[in-house]
Structure 1
C-alpha cells in the first residue's frame, strides 16, 4: 500500500486563514506531526494520532514522517504560515536528499499556506507592493556573518525586507544589530512595521522609523517589515494610516 505525506501550512493563526486544501489534508491524515504550538491548534478526530516535538527537531520529525508514510499511512507534517518558508517542506526534502530510500513508496505533496509577511502586509496596507525579500535572523542554521551580509546587501539594493525570527530569549540583541546594519545603508526615516501575533486576539501593529526601531519591543511572534526608500505612509478619507510601497519606480 502506498503511503502519503502532505506538508501543510496552517497559516499565521486564525482558522479562517487556513486554506481548504491544507485543512482537508490535515483532516484526512492518520498521523499528524509538528512543532508543539502548531499541532496544539488541531482538534484531533477519533483515531487520529498527533505527535508534537520541539522546534529544533525538524530533520528528525521529517524522517519520522517519511518512515510512517513508507508503512502505508496517511501522514501530515504541519507548519505555521507556509511550509515552504523557513519551515518543514525544506526539512523533508533535506531528509530525502540525505537518504533517498526514505521516500520509497511515498506520495509527497506540499500544500501552501499564508505566510506571516503576507498576513502582516495585509493588515497594514501594501508594503510588499514592489520588490522585496525575506531574511530570517535566526543563526541556528547559518552563521551570523551570513545574515549581516544579506542584510547589508538587501538594504543597498533597496528591497523591502521582511525579517522572520527577529528575536527570542536566547537572541534578544540580534534585531538591534540588524537595525544597526540597515541604518548604515538606509535613511533614518525608512518605515518599519512591527506586526505581532497577526490575526490573533493579542494582535499589535506598530509603525515607526528605522531611527526609532531599536527601542520597539520584539519577540518570536513578531514579523518585522523594513521599508525601502520608496515605502511610505498614506491616510485614507477616514483618517486611517496605511503603509505601502508604490508599484512603479522612476529612474
Structure 2
C-alpha cells in the first residue's frame, strides 16, 4: 500500500538534511512542494513525478499529495525546517483519511540560526511567528507579551514581509517592557543557505531595515550574554 511522507528538509542545504529525509525522498515516486523548496532538493528527485505550486498553495498541495497516494504512488510533501513547525504535517493529518502518513523531522530554522549565533537557546525558549495570515494579530501580541513576561528566549519567525513592515517593531516594543535594553539579539538571514548573514546586537540597537521574511530573530533572556562574538544563554551549570 502506498504511503504519504511529510518531510522536513531543514533550512535548505543538503548538508543540513537528515539521512532519513534524503533516503525517504529518494524512494518516493511523487514529490509535492512549494516551487522554491523543490529547487532545494533537485539533486534527489530525478525521474520522479514533481508537483509544485506557488505561495499560499498549501492546502492545494496537501490535497494533491493525498490524491497521489490514493493513486498508488509513494509520495512525499516537503517543508523547509521541520514539517511539524509551521509546516505541512498539521494540515496533512487533518485532511488525510484512510491512508498511512509518516512525519520525517528536520532541523528547524530556529536551531539552524542558533548554531550560527552560538548557544542562545540553551534554556527554555519559545517560537513565535509574526505572520497574521492565519492567526489574529491580537493573539500574536498576547503570546509575545506572555513570553517576554516569562523571560523565555524568543525565536521570531516571519518577522517582516511587504505587507507586514512594522510587526517586528511592535513585537520588540512589547518585549522591551520586560527585557533589558542590553538583552542580546541575534539576527540571521538565509540560515543554512547561500547568502547567509548574521548580526549580533542588543534589544535597543536592532536595525529593522536588515530584517526580512527570510530572517530569524532570536532574543535572549535575562541571563544571556555576548561572548567572543557569540550569544550564550547559560543552562545553569557551575563553571
Is TM more than 0.5 here? yes
Residue of structure 2 equivalent to 1:99 = none
1:163-211 deviation digits (Å, cap 9, x = unpaired): 0111111211111111111111211111111011112231111011111
Residue of structure 2 equivalent to 1:245 = 233
Runs of 4+ in 1 over 3 A off after TM superposition: none
Residue of structure 1 equivalent to 2:29 = 30
1:149, distance to aligned residue in structure 2 (A): 0.3
1:72-99 deviation digits (Å, cap 9, x = unpaired): 1110000111111111111212223xxx
Residue of structure 2 equivalent to 1:132 = 125
Gaps (5+ residues) in structure 2? none
Task: Say which SS state the counterpart of residue 108 (structure 1) adopts.
Answer: strand
1:14, distance to aligned residue in structure 2 (A): 1.4
1:32-181 equivalence runs, <5 A? 32-43=31-42, 44-46=45-47, 48-96=48-96, 103-104=97-98, 106-181=99-174
The 2-side partners of 1:81 and 1:183 are apart by: 28
CA contact (8 A) 1:128 1:160 kept: yes
CA contact (8 A) 1:176 1:214 kept: no
Normalising by the residue count of structure 1, what TM-score does the alignment of the two structures yield? 0.90
What is the aligned-residue RMSD (CA, Å)?
Answer: 1.5
Residue of structure 2 equivalent to 1:8 = 7
Normalising by the residue count of structure 2, what TM-score does the alignment of the two structures yield? 0.95
Confirm whether residue 205 of structure 1 aligns to residue 198 of structure 2: yes
1:58, distance to aligned residue in structure 2 (A): 1.3
The number of residue pairs the alignment matches comes to: 236
Task: Say which SS state the counterpart of residue 133 (structure 1) adopts.
Answer: strand
The 1-side partners of 2:186 and 2:41 are apart by: 30
The 1-side partners of 2:171 and 2:94 are apart by: 28
* Counterpart among 207, 218, 224 of residue 231 in structure 1: 224
Task: Say which SS state the counterpart of residue 248 (structure 1) adopts.
Answer: coil
1:216, distance to aligned residue in structure 2 (A): 4.5
CA contact (8 A) 2:14 2:41 kept: no
1:214, distance to aligned residue in structure 2 (A): 5.0
